Chains A and B, each alone.
Chain A
Amino acid sequence: MEQELFQVMKPGVQTTFQDLGRKGYQQFGVPVSGAMDKFALQVANILLGNSRTSPCLEITLIGPNLVAKSSMTIVITGANLNPTCNGEPIDMWKTVRIEKGDELAFGKHESGVRAYLAVAGGFEAPKYFGSSSVDGNSGFGKPLEKGDTIKGYPITVASGISLASSLIPSYEKKITVSLVEGPHTDYFAKKDRETFFAVPYKVGSNSNRMGYRLEGETIKPEKVEVWSDGIPFGGIQITSGGEPIILMADRQTTGGYPRIGTVFSTDLPRVAQLIPGGEICFRPSSIEEAEEKVRKEEQFLHRLEQFRQHIERRK
């Protein structure tokens, strides 16, 4: 049954509903959007027994202040923004029961950038082309505002279900990610490609859900003219000035800059959690290794999902 879940006292800097994104409409120019850190979003849903694709609130650096209008079970995953309930710290990556009238708040940023708040039973969030992901550039939904009421379909599930601490990702300020090279490898001089893989880049402050602008050694393409083509999540385009941009969740569907490579999809959560000023190094690798990692991650999430269903049945 639809119920009021939260009253928004403070919205936070950028708090939006996100799920796994819009699929199937890119040929019409509709961006995929969706969670920046799909791993944290899916684990949040799985721990609560929700469908993996359910929308969660993606909370960015400075979190919202929410008052519960019903009792419910929640979980917070992703970035550690020091969440509290009535001023008391609450565990992350662990299902927690909160009562009507409780105040959920976020404090000082500890690690990562984006936290995910999920509710057992799921949120009520408007869908556009099959997805609840807010994409302001395309006119699909908007971030939370002060005074909003968040609705959902709360159900009672077990609290205290958590991810083993060894499995909880740590979000470093210096990361190395793997990538598959191409498709415009021949647009760059050999020496520039070597530079790209040898030096660290710094995440610029004007990085957002569309793309991460990287500061460091510029690698000017030898040709700039590229006919627009489809651009994937994690594609690294190089501007005519030689600055790399990692294309993120809200990227457009097509682009016209040369691309030097595509970050492994399993490395994207760590990119999404890298704060402005953080450092990133790139390692060239193979498509075979990239696919192997996706399969392993999918197996992990699938097993976690089955394990979670088992817990509920045992009760």
Chain B
Amino acid sequence: MQHTMTAIGDGVIRVDFAGEVSPQMNQQIQRYCRLIQGKAIYGVTELVPGYHTITLYYEPFEVRYNELITKLEKLLASSIGENIQEKGRLLQIPVCYGGEQGPDLHKVAERHQMKEEEVVRLHQEPTYLVYLLGFLPGFPYLGGLSPELATPRLQEPRANTPAGSVGIADAQTGIYPFTSPGGWNIIGNTPIPLFDAEKKEHAFLFRPGDRVTFYEISEAEYNQLTLKDMQSDLLWEEVISIEKENRSEL
């Protein structure tokens, strides 16, 4: 997959991949990120995956951009064919749709002239991909929403969207890690915490490149899960499974 590397500011290099945004492109981005992170390159402070980019931050007083780009290009070229694929993670997220938990389900259904049950069914159908995290700490941007459910953002954003809210904005779906103002159409809520600040780098349920499915739970099941007051690790263990096969290498 073709890419270009440009310094867009002092301390910022942008790796831009050519072509359509796709799960394959995302896989390539995750692969490059792992490769670069695995080498602990002098001067590089962090990487931020985007839909068709990697934004790489570096310390300009430790390394010059042109030296760094040469080094990175060499590293990427030498790694072609090298198998550094990690086993993919699949996360199965329980969601209580509609009612108090999903105040906008009704509106989304009305807009698309379908029954609420149909929206719920369509939302559970795909296996989504976490393209990136952004907007709020731990907020996953999920690609793969059925085009039939694409819905513009709320005209008036809510002052408070509760933690766990599952929403739709345009062609994307996502989950609010904590209560925050927001303009997404909220169709349900998950009792699984997305965020545990105590755990430092393992503080977030989602990682870029994860695959995600949703399954419906009843209000009673929802309440039971919230009442369980379980440690986030135990709940997380229940939703995360490691895929048996490595996904094909590009």
Which chain A residues have a beta carbon within 8 Å of chain B's beta carbons?
23-31, 128-130, 137-139, 179-180, 182-183, 227-232, 234-235, 252-254, 259, 261-266, 287, 290-291, 293-295, 298-299
Contacts and interface: CB of A to CB of B under 8 A. Distances in A.
B128 interface: no
Contact of B10 (A26, A293, A299): A293
B239 to A, nearest CB: 17
B104 to A, nearest CB: 21
Contacts of B9: 179-180, 232, 234-235, 261-265, 287, 290
A143 B137 CA distance: 20
B215 interface: no
Given A180-B8, A262-B8, A291 B60 contact: yes
Top 6 A-B pairs ranked by shortest CB distance? A230-B55, A262-B9, A229-B50, A230-B48, A254-B134, A227-B51
B45 interface: yes
B8 A182 contact: yes
Contacts of A128: 197
A25 B195 CA distance: 13
B86 interface: no
Interface string B97-134: 00000000000000000000000000000000000111
A23 B134 contact: no
Majority SS of interface residues in chain A? mixed
Nearest to B197: A128
From B52, B54, B197, name the one whose CB has the most chain A CB atoms within 10 angstroms.
Answer: B197
From A234, A290, A293, name the one whose CB has the most chain B CB atoms within 10 angstroms.
Answer: A290
From B49, B55, B201, name the one whose CB has the most chain A CB atoms within 10 angstroms.
Answer: B55
Given A29-B135, A295-B61, A182 B6 contact: yes
Interface stretch (B11-19, B154-162, B217-225): B11-19
Contacts of A29: 132-139, 204
Given A229-B52, A262-B12, 17 more contacts: A24-B201, A27-B33, A27-B49, A27-B132, A28-B203, A227-B21, A227-B52, A228-B50, A228-B132, A254-B132, A254-B135, A259-B8, A262-B8, A264-B9, A265-B60, A290-B60, A294-B11
Contacts of B197: 128-129
B64 interface: yes
Contacts of B53: 227, 229-230
Interface in B42-92: 45-55, 57, 60-61, 64-65
A138 B195 CA distance: 11
User: How many of chain B's residues touch chain A, expressed as a range?
Assistant: 35 or more
A261 B9 CA distance: 8
B11 A265 contact: yes
A183 B16 contact: yes
Contacts of B200: 129-130
Contacts of A263: 9
B10 A265 contact: yes
B48 A27 contact: yes
Contacts of A299: 61
Contact of A138 (B10, B132, B137): B137
B121 to A, nearest CB: 28
Contacts of A287: 7, 9-10, 65
From B47, B137, B201, name the one whose CB has the most chain A CB atoms within 10 angstroms.
Answer: B137
B8 A26 contact: no
B180 interface: yes
Given A26-B46, A28-B133, A30-B137, A291 B10 contact: yes
Contacts of B203: 28, 129
Nearest to A287: B7
A232 B46 contact: no
16 contacts: A28-B204, A29-B136, A180-B7, A227-B51, A231-B55, A232-B11, A232-B57, A252-B135, A266-B10, A287-B10, A291-B10, A291-B64, A293-B10, A294-B61, A295-B60, A298-B61
A226 to B, nearest CB: 9
